[in-house]
Structure 1
Amino acid sequence: MTSKTPSRNILQWSKLLMITGGTQAVVQGFGLLLGIFIIRSLTKEEYAFYTIANTMLGTMTVLADGGINNGAMAAGGKVWKDRFELGKVLSTSINLRKRFAVYSLIVTIPILIYLLNRQSASISVIVLIILALIPSFWAALSDSLLQTVPKLHQAIPKLQRNQLFVAIVRVIMGGVMVFIFPFTYIAILANGIPRLIGNYRLRKIAGEFVEKDAPVDKEIEKGILKIVVRTLPGSIYYCISGQILVWLLSFFGNSESVASVGALGRLAMFLSLFSTVFATLIIPRFSRLPSNSSQLLKKYIIIFLGLVVLLSGFLICIYFGSDIILEILGNKYLGLNVELLLAMIGSCFSLLSGAAFGLYSNRGWVINPILMISINLISMLLLASVLDVTSLIGALYFNIWVNVISFVMNFIYGFIKILKLKSN
C-alpha cells in the first residue's frame, strides 16, 4: 500500500502541473503576444504613459490589499472545508478591501497625475487614462480574493478555464482596439473590460464552495487586520521597491528610458508562468501543511532549489536569444542586449523574493516591518550613492541589488520561522 503512495503523488502532481503549466503557458503566451503588439503599435511617448499607468495600477491594487489577501488565505486555510465559515472569510475580506480601496485612490491618483505630467502628458490624456483604469481596479478589488477559494480547494481546472477565457477576450479586444486607436487609454481599457468579465465568472466559481450570503464576521476581520497591521508597512514599501525602475526613471529620466524599461519588463511575462503556477499550486499547499518543522523545512528548500534551476535556464535562454527577442519588440528597442539581460536578472530575483514572501506570509507569519523597511532603505541609500540611477543601465543594476537583498531577507526570515517551530 505504501509503495503505491509515492507513485500516486507523482502522478497527481504531474497532472496538476500539466493542467496548470499548460494553461498558463497559453495564457501568458496570449498576454505576451498582446504586450508585444502594444509595444510595436504605441509610440515611445505613449508607451511611457502606458508603463507609468500600469505601474500605478499595481500600486493601487497593493495598497487596496495591504495584506488582506494573505490574511484571507491564512484564515481560509483553517476552515476551507466548511462552506459557511469560508464564506464568512470571503465576505469579510472583500468588505475590508473595498474600504482600503478608498484610501488607496486618495494616495495614488495625485501621484499618477504628477508622473504623467512630468512626462508631458496633456490634461485630457491624463483624465482619459485615469478613467480607463477604473475597470481594472474594480476587478482587482476582489479577483485575487475570489481565487483564494478554488485555490484552497485545488479546483484548478475551473480556475484555469476562466483565466484562459479572459486571456482570449483580452487578445481579441486589445488587438482590435489598439490597432484602430493606438493610444494608452485604449490599451488600458481593453485590458480592464475582460478582467471585469472574468471577475463575474470567478464569483460563480467561488460560489460552488462557499455560502454566498455568509455575513461579515468581526472576529475574522480582527484576525485579518492583525496580519494587515504588520503587513501594510511592507506593502507600502513594496509599492516603491517592486517597481523601483519605473519610479526612478519617471522622476529622473525621460520618456524614452521609461518606455525602454517598460518594454523590457514586458518580457518578464515569461516569468509570470512560474509565479502563477507557484501561487496556484505551491503556496496554497504549503499554507495547508501541518506545523511540522522538519517537513516544512524540507519542502521549503526543495521549492527554492527547483526555482533556482528553472530561473537559471531562463536566463541562459535570454542571454543567447537576446538579438531575436529585441527584433520582436521592434526597431525602437534594438541594441538593448545588455539592458535586457540585466532587466531579466532583476526580475528573477524579484520572483524569488516574492516566492519567499508568499510562502511565509500565507502561513500567517509577518516579518517585522520596521526591520524589513530599515534594511531595504539603508541598502537603497547606499546603492544610490554609488550607482547612477538616472541612467537606464545604472537603474537596472540598482534594481538587481535591491531585489537580491530583498530575497535574502525574505528567505532567511521564512527559514528562521520554520526552525522556530521545532522549539515550540
Structure 2
Amino acid sequence: MRVKVFNQLSNNPKYTKTLQWVKLVSVTGFAQVFVQAVSLFSGILVIRMLQPEEYALYTLANTMLGTMTVLADGGISTGVMSQGGKVWQDRDQLGTVLATGMDLRRKFAVGSLLVSIPVLIYLMLHHGASWLMSVLIVLSLIPSFFMALSGTILQIAPKLRQDIAPLQKNQVYMNLGRLVLLALTIFIFPFAFVAVLAAGLPQIWGNMNLRKISSGYADWHKKPDPAIRQNIMKMVRRLLPMGIYTCLSGQITIWLISIFGTTKGVAQLGALDRLSMALSFITIVFGTVILPRFSRLPNNKALLMRRFVQIQGGLLAMGVCIVFTAWLFSAQILKILGPNYSNLTNEVVLKITISCLGIIAASTFSLFTSRSWAINPFISIPVSIASIALGVAFIDVSSLRGVLFMNIMIQLIQVVMNVSYTFLKISKTNNSLPTENNKETI
C-alpha cells in the first residue's frame, strides 16, 4: 500500500515540482545561512577589534564600495539577465551576451572610480583620517570593486540554468577565506584598510572559480556583439538615472549622518548595518532561486500575476516575522556588538525594519527589470527626491534615530511605487504561449 502511494506521488507533476523546490530552497537556504553566519562573525570581529573612530572609516569605505559598484553597473547586469533569459539554453549565444556585458562593465568601471574616489577621500579627511590612511583605504577597495563587478556577470549563466550547488559552495569557501585572512591580520593590524583588503582578496579566487563554473553553460571566448550591446544599453539608459539616484538614496542614512552628524554616529550606524547585513542571505536566495525563474516565465498575464502575488505575500510575511523577532530580542542582539553599542535597543528595531522594507523594494525592482520593464526615471526620481526632501524638512537628521525614521518613510514609498508599477505592467501584458526555451518553471 505504501509503495503504491509513493509511486502515485512520484508520478504526480505537482509533487515532483514541490520536491524540486524543497530541495533547491533547502540547499540554497542552508548554504546562505552558513555564509551569513561566517560573514556576521567576521563583521563582529571587525567591530570589536576596531576603535569606533576606525570603524567609522571602515563603514564609509564599504558604503562607497556599494556606491561605486552601483555606478559601474548602471543596469548592465539587469540587461544581461534579461537578454540571457531569452537564450539561456544556447551556449554560444549566452556567451556572446555575457561577453558583451563584461565589456560594458569594464568601461563603466573607469567612470565610477573617477567620480567616487575624490568623494571618499573628502569624507575620510572630514572624519579625521590622515592622507596616508585615506589613500590606503582607497587602494584596499580596488580588488573588492573589480571582483564585485565581474562576479555578478559570472553568476548569471549558472543562475539561469539553476545550477545552484556550485555557486553556494563557492560562496562558502570564499567567506571562509575572508574569515581566515581577517583573523590572521586584524589582531596585529587593527586598521580599517586591513579589514577592507582582507574582505576583497579571497574574491579573486572566487571569481576564477565562477568562470570555470559558468564556462559549461556559456562560451567566454565569444566577442561582444553590437546588437546585444544596443539592447543592454537600452536598459542602461532607462536604469542608470535611477542607479545614480540609488547611490545617494540607498545609503542616505550614512551620507546624512556623515555630513551632519558625528563620527560616533557613523560608527553606531555602521554597527547596526552589520547586524542587518545578516538578512542579505534573503536577497541572495531570492536572486538565485526566484528571480531567474520569474525572468523565464512566458508572457501570460494570469500566471505572472499569480506568481507575483505569491512572491509579495511571502516577502511581507517574512518581514513581519523578522521585525517582531528583533523587537523581542533587541537587548540580546546588541550584546553581540559589544558595550560601545549596547544602548541602541530602539535603533536596532528601526534598522531591521528599514532592511526588511529595502528587501521588498529591491526584490520587486529586480522582478520587473528582469522582464525588461523599467519605471520612467522622470517619474521615479522626482517621487523619491520629494520623499527625501520631506524627511529632511520635518525630521532631525543630525540624530541617529531621526535618520532611521526618515529612511523608513523613504523605503515605504519605494515599496509602494515598485509594487504598483509591477501590477500595472502585468495587467497590460499580452498573453503568449510558452516556447521550449521559455516554459513555466516557477
TM-score, length-scaled by structure 2: 0.94
Q: 2:415 aligns with which of 379, 393, 407?
A: 407
Could you tell me whether the CA contact under 8 Å between 1:71 and 1:223 is conserved in 2? yes
Amino acid paired to 1:42 = L
Identity percentage over the alignment?
46
Distance 2:175 2:211 in 1: 18
Q: Which residue of 1 aligns with 2:259?
A: 251
Unpaired segments ≥5 residues, structure 2? 1-7, 433-442
Amino acid paired to 1:17 = V
In the TM superposition, residue 405 of structure 1 has moved relative to its aligned partner by 0.4
Q: Which residue of 1 aligns with 2:438?
A: none
Distance 1:352 1:346 in 2: 10
Q: Please, which moves more after superposition, 87-96 or 302-311?
A: 302-311
Determine helix, strand or coil for the equivalent of 2:329. Answer: helix
Q: Which residue of 2 aligns with 1:160?
A: 168
For the pair 1:6 / 2:29, whether they are aligned, the reply is no
Q: 2:220 aligns with which of 212, 216, 230?
A: 212
Amino acid paired to 2:27 = I
Q: Deviation string for 1:399-420 (max 9, x for gaps)?
A: 1111110111011111111111
Determine helix, strand or coil for the equivalent of 2:372. Answer: coil
Distance 1:360 1:255 in 2: 38
Distance 1:212 1:228 in 2: 22
Q: Which residue of 2 aligns with 1:72?
A: 80
For the pair 1:185 / 2:193, whether they are aligned, the reply is yes
Q: Which residue of 2 aligns with 1:242?
A: 250
Could you tell me whether the CA contact under 8 Å between 2:71 and 2:244 is conserved in 1? yes
For the pair 1:19 / 2:19, whether they are aligned, the reply is no
For the pair 1:100 / 2:108, whether they are aligned, the reply is yes
Could you tell me whether the CA contact under 8 Å between 1:138 and 1:196 is conserved in 2? no
Q: Deviation string for 1:281-319 (max 9, x for gaps)?
A: 000000000010110000001001111111111111111
Q: Deviation string for 1:57-109 (max 9, x for gaps)?
A: 00000000000000000000000111100000010000000000011011100
For the pair 1:326 / 2:334, whether they are aligned, the reply is yes
For the pair 1:358 / 2:366, whether they are aligned, the reply is yes
Q: Which residue of 1 aligns with 2:316?
A: 308
Q: Which residue of 2 aligns with 1:387?
A: 395
Amino acid paired to 2:292 = P
Root-mean-square deviation over aligned CA pairs: 1.2
Amino acid paired to 2:132 = S
Q: Deviation string for 1:219-257 (max 9, x for gaps)?
A: 000000000000000000111111111010111111100
Q: 1:142 aligns with which of 142, 150, 168?
A: 150
Amino acid paired to 2:174 = V
For the pair 1:200 / 2:208, whether they are aligned, the reply is yes
Amino acid paired to 1:62 = V
TM-score, length-scaled by structure 1: 0.98
In the TM superposition, residue 270 of structure 1 has moved relative to its aligned partner by 2.5
In the TM superposition, residue 45 of structure 1 has moved relative to its aligned partner by 0.4
Higher helix share goes to which structure? 1
Distance 1:195 1:263 in 2: 23
Distance 2:68 2:208 in 1: 21
In the TM superposition, residue 380 of structure 1 has moved relative to its aligned partner by 1.1
Distance 2:431 2:177 in 1: 52
Distance 2:180 2:330 in 1: 28
Distance 1:196 1:244 in 2: 30
Q: Which residue of 2 aligns with 1:37?
A: 45
Distance 1:122 1:313 in 2: 44
Distance 1:267 1:37 in 2: 12
Alignment: residue pair count: 424
Distance 2:372 2:354 in 1: 27
Q: 1:343 aligns with which of 338, 346, 351?
A: 351
Which runs of at least 4 in structure 1 moved beyond 3 Å after TM superposition?
none
Q: Which residue of 1 aligns with 2:290?
A: 282
Q: Please, which moves more after superposition, 209-218 or 20-29?
A: 209-218
Amino acid paired to 2:331 = D
Could you tell me whether the CA contact under 8 Å between 1:322 and 1:337 is conserved in 2? yes
